[in-house]
Amino acid sequence: MSVDAALVTNIENVRWMSGFSGSSAAIVLSPSEAVFITDSRYDEQAHEQVKGFEIHVFASPTRQAQAIGAVIHRLGLTSVSFEAEHVTFATMNSWANDIPGIEFTPVEKMISPLRMVKSAEEIEKIRRACGIGDACFEHVLRMLRPGVTEYDVALDIEFFIRRQGAKIAFDVIAVSGERSARPHGTPSERKLEVGDFVTLDFGACVDGWNSDLTRTVVIGEATDRHREVFDAVLRAEESCIAAMKPGVAAKDVDALARRILAERDFDKYFGHGLGHGLGSAVHDVASMNPNSTDVLEPGQVWTVEPGVYIPGFGGCRIEDDVVVTSDGVEVLTHASKPFVVP
């Protein structure tokens, strides 16, 4: 396949390529030209953040497709590749109407594989985000007492992260008791009680790079069932981290977690993948699940997050962020892993 240029419209890929932190932009990239396109809302921001690109700013009533077309025609292009998995049918129709005479060719995974291996600078930003997450968990432990609501715990987490000058990487998960069996449950006005599992999942975003941390504790008094679940999840997580090194298939690490959980018949309560890539997006490219085709390489950053979610009882998830090294992994998150909070 031969094309004149590539058109990048997925904002996560645009952000990774350019450093732009706004919500709307595109890039046209040819062997000799690199043009960054955004609208007038981001004029000053683009000139401040985007380096190494010609910057093309358009304003209403011009639409983005028309602005892209103007750049493509000015550069004399006739064939352009685009990100197959990110462009909708409606977008294709708008391009057909607003950019006539151009052959558009879909290409799968045009940019995403380039994002899998992080540079030393990118890893350092993720490390800083992980440090904020670690400090946040140690800070919020003081709040995990009977009578405090899930919602108040979540607000305290968000406030702490923002006070460090970071952004919230994603909506905070703070669930307790039977509600902790919801892997992505949202905080409620439910008050923490003695004997609750409490699962907290949150992350910080530093200069566009993210962390993702999960810890589960029991409030006050734990049963043998709590201990059995917690120990199984912790052993699965630590065993998987120890097994990670270059050349290992991501699906094999996921399978190890399931084998360990199956020893206690808990594998049936583990419905999601073991982890995902982490970087400029929280759920970055690459996945660690039974269907993954990814292979570990130095410089990749992963989450490792086995969980057990038992309806009517509660759930436990423990998650750390790791970077693959030449002979294993370096764990980037270091928050404590207490079982019971007195």
- CATH classification at residue 67: 3.40.350.10
**At residue 276, what are phi and psi to the nearest 5 degrees?**
-150, 165
Domain boundary, last residue among 74, 99, 115: 115
**Of 82, 115, 148, which marks where a domain is finished?**
115
Same domain, 288 and 253: yes
Find tokens 């109407």 and name the residue. Answer: 97
Structure tokens at 24: 């709307």
Query: Residue range 269-284: average pLDDT?
Result: 97
Token couple for 267: 């594998």
CATH of the domain at 300: 3.90.230.10
DSSP for residue 224:
H
Residues 89 and 131 in one domain: no
**What is the structure's pLDDT at 300?**
98
Cβ neighbours for 286, distance < 8 A, ≥ 6 positions apart: 116, 250, 276, 277, 292, 294, 300, 302
Nearest to 212 by CA among 324, 308, 315, 305: 305
For the chain, what is the domain count?
Answer: 2
Together in a domain, 96 and 241: no
Q: Examine the domain organization and report whether 334 and 206 are in the same domain.
A: yes
Q: Mean pLDDT across the stretch 283-310?
A: 97
- Spatial distance between the Cα atoms of 179 and 195, rounded to a whole number of angstroms: 13
pLDDT category, 6, cuts 50, 70, 90?
very high
- Looking at 68, 84, 115, the residue that finishes a domain is 115
**For the chain, what percent of residues have pLDDT higher than 90?**
97
Residues in the chain: 342
Give 203-244 pLDDT, tens digit per residue: 999 999 999 999 999 999 999 999 999 999 999 999 999 999
Residue 326 scores a pLDDT above 80: yes
pLDDT band at 1; cut points 50, 70, 90:
low
Structure tokens at 263: 């020893």
Q: Are residue 166 and residue 90 in the same domain, yes or no? A: no
Are 283 and 166 in the same domain? Answer: yes
Q: What average pLDDT does the chain have?
A: 97
The pLDDT, as a whole number, for residue 112 is 87
The values of phi and psi at residue 116, to 5°, are -70, -45
Whose CA is closest to 240, among 264, 260, 263, 215?
A: 260
Owning domain of residue 291: 120-341
**Statement: residue 111 has pLDDT above 80:** yes
267 & 332 share domain: yes
User: Do 138 and 104 lie in a common domain?
Assistant: no
Interval 173-184: pLDDT, tens: 999 999 999 999
Is 102 in the same domain as 125? no
Same domain, 57 and 203: no
Question: What's the 3-state SS for 144-188?
Answer: CCCCCEHHHHHHHHHHHHHHCCCEECCCCEEEEHHHHHCCCCCCC
Of the pLDDT bands very low, low, confident and very high (cuts 50, 70, 90), residue 2 is confident
What would the mean pLDDT of 35-44 be, rounded to a whole number? Answer: 98
How far apart (Å, rounded) are the C-alpha atoms in residues 7 and 257? 40
Same domain, 279 and 151: yes
Q: Same domain for 67 and 204?
A: no
Report in angstroms the alpha-carbon separations of 24 from 17, 69, 122: 14, 16, 22
The rounded distance, in Å, linking the Cα atoms of 305 and 203 is 14
The band of 158, judged by pLDDT with boundaries at 50, 70 and 90, is very high
In a 3-state reduction of DSSP, which class is residue 111? coil
Average pLDDT over residues 154-176: 98
315 and 183 in contact (C-beta within 8 Å)?
Answer: yes
